[in-house]
Amino acid sequence: MQLTLIRNTDESKSVFYKIARVVYAETCASSLNAVEALTSMIKNRADKMNLDITDVISDTNLFSSLNTSSPRNKFLSVTVNNPKFQMCLRVVTRMMHGMLADCCYGATCFHHDDEIPTWATSRGYIADIDGLLFYI
Output the pLDDT for position 7: 55
- Give residue limits of the domains in the chain: 14-103
pLDDT tens, the chain, 136 aa long: 666 655 554 545 699 999 999 999 999 999 999 999 999 999 999 999 999 999 999 999 999 999 999 999 999 999 999 999 999 999 999 999 999 999 999 999 999 999 999 889 888 899 999 999 999 9
| pLDDT recorded at residue 5 | 52
CA distance 62 to 67: 10
- Please compute Rg for the chain using Cα positions: 15
- What pLDDT score was predicted for residue 40? 98
pTM above 0.85, yes or no: yes
